[in-house]
Chains A and B, each alone.
Chain A
C-alpha cells in the first residue's frame, strides 16, 4: 500500500474528505491531521444551541470516535502541520514527525479577524470559532450582564440572540449601515433589525468602534468614534475571518483571497487540493472566483475532491447555500446574491414569511427565505439548473415554483 492521502484540517471539510473517500471505495491510507485537540465536530451549533446550553459536545461530534477506526482513518488531533515538502511529497508536524502523501488536501480553514483597536486584548473580549472558544463564551455568558457584540453579521447576531435569550442586556454594534449587509438585501436586514429590537436587543448600525475601555485589565465599555459609550462586562467580537494560507504560501502555492484552486479544486500542484473556508475557487454561480465559509461549501468540495482522488475526476459545481438561526427564525439562503441588479419579494415581514429573489441581467441568482422553506428548496433546484424565471413571475405567488422545478431532476441535496 502507498502513502495514500493526507488531509490537513479536522473541520467539516477535512472530516468529509476522509469519510467520502471511504464511501467512494478508496482503499489507500487516509491520515487526517488537525490542530484542534478534539475529534471533528460541527461548528454551526457553537454560536447557537451549544452556546445556549441545549447541545453538549457529544451531540455536535460529526461522528463518534469509533468511526475513524472503523473506516481506517488515522485521526491525529492536536498536531500542527508546519511544512509541506512538495518534492518529497511529505508534510512535517511541529513535533518533528513527518508523513508521506500521494495526494494532499488542505482543509485548513480560517481564523477570526482580530480587532487591533485600543483595549482589544482586555479580559472579557472574546471571539468564537473553535469549540474551546465556545466553551469560554458559554461560561463567561453565565455571569455577564451587559453584552456588547461587535459585528452585525451572522456570528455576531447569532451570539446576540443567544445572549438575549439568556436574559442579558445586549447591544450590537455594526460598522456598516445595515445588518448582514454583505450577504442579504435591505429587506432582510430590516426584518432582522426588527426581530432583534422586538426581543430587546439594541442594534446600532453605522457604529465606528474606536476603543474598548477597561479597568484593572477587565473590559468595562466599548467606545465609538462619535464619543458614545456602551457599558459592557463582556464583549463578543464577530468581524469576519482570515483564511489560513501560510502553509500554502510557504509551499509556493498561489494564494489570492484564499488558497487558489481550479475547477477541480486543485492548487497549481496537481497532487495538492484546497477546500472549504481556506480556498478560493472559480464559482459558476457567482460568476467569479470566491471563497465561501459554509457547511455546504466544505462538505460538497470535500465530496468532489474525494471522488477525484478515488479516480472519478470531478469538476466542482455545487450550488452554494447557507443558513442562520437567530431566536426562533431561520434564514435560508440559496445561491450567491453579489452583483444583483434587481430584487423582488414574496410574502412580507409582517407575516414573518418572506422570500427575496435576486436577479442579475435577468437571471435568477439567489433567493433568501424566512419561513418559506419551499421557496428555498425549490430555489436551489431552479438556480442550479438555470431554469428561466422572470422577476414578475418570482413576485407572483400564483407561479408555482415547485411545478417549475418539477420539470428538472432531483437537485443536489
Chain B
C-alpha cells in the first residue's frame, strides 16, 4: 500500500498507509491528522485542506484544474509554487512516499 508522509507545521512527520484511490485529504481525516480541516468535504469550495507538496513529488501529480487553482488563491496561508488542495490529490502506487507539508493554519 502506498505511503504518504504528513509533516505538521511544527515539523513532526507521520507516515500513513493509504489505499490507492483515496485522497490525501480523506486519509488525513481518517488518521487524525489535525492540520487538515476539509470544511467543504472535498468539493473545491474552501481552502482548508491546503498542503505544500514536496518538490520531488510535485511534478508527478496530475496538474490542478481551474477550480482548484482558484481556491488556492484564497488559502489562509498564502499559496506557494507547490501548493495543492489535498482533496484533489488521489494517492496512487506511483506516488508511494509522497510528502506533504501542512501550513500553519487552514482558516
Q: Give residues in A with beta carbon < 8 Å to B.
A: 16, 23, 42, 44-45, 59-60, 63-64, 66-67, 70, 295-296, 299, 303, 321, 323, 325, 330, 332, 373-374, 376-378, 380-381, 402, 405, 410-413
Contact = CB atoms under 8 A, between A and B. Distances in A.
Interface in B35-80: 39-41, 43-48, 66-67, 69-71, 73-78
Nearest to B39: A299
Looking at chain A's contact residues, the main secondary structure is helix
Looking at chain B's contact residues, the main secondary structure is loop
A283 B13 CA distance: 41
A286 B5 CA distance: 43
Contacts of B107: 303, 412-413
Given A45-B41, A413-B47, A381 B74 contact: yes
Contact of B45 (A23, A323, A374): A323
B45 A332 contact: yes
Given A295-B40, A374-B70, A63 B29 contact: yes
B32 interface: yes
A373 B47 CA distance: 13
Contacts of B30: 64
Contacts of B4: none
Contacts of B44: 330, 373
Contact of B73 (A23, A44, A378): A378
Nearest to B106: A413
5 contacts: A299-B39, A373-B69, A376-B70, A378-B73, A413-B74
Nearest to A61: B29
B100 interface: no
Contact of A59 (B26, B73, B77): B26
Contacts, number: 74
B71 A377 contact: yes
B32 A413 contact: no
Contacts of B74: 377, 380-381, 410-413
B41 A413 contact: no
Nearest to A303: B107
Query: Which of A16, A42, A373 has the most C-beta atoms of chain B within 10 angstroms of its own C-beta?
Result: A373
Interface residues of B, number: 27
Nearest to A16: B39
B37 to A, nearest CB: 8
A413 B67 contact: no
A373 B70 contact: yes
Nearest to B41: A42
Nearest to B77: A410
Contacts of B75: 410, 413
Contacts of A16: 39
Contacts of B78: 410
A377 B70 contact: yes
Given A413-B46, A413-B48, A374 B73 contact: yes
A403 to B, nearest CB: 12
Nearest to B76: A413
Contacts of A299: 39
Query: Which of B48, B71, B78 has the most C-beta atoms of chain A within 10 angstroms of its own C-beta?
Result: B71
A51 to B, nearest CB: 15
B70 A325 contact: no
A67 B32 contact: yes
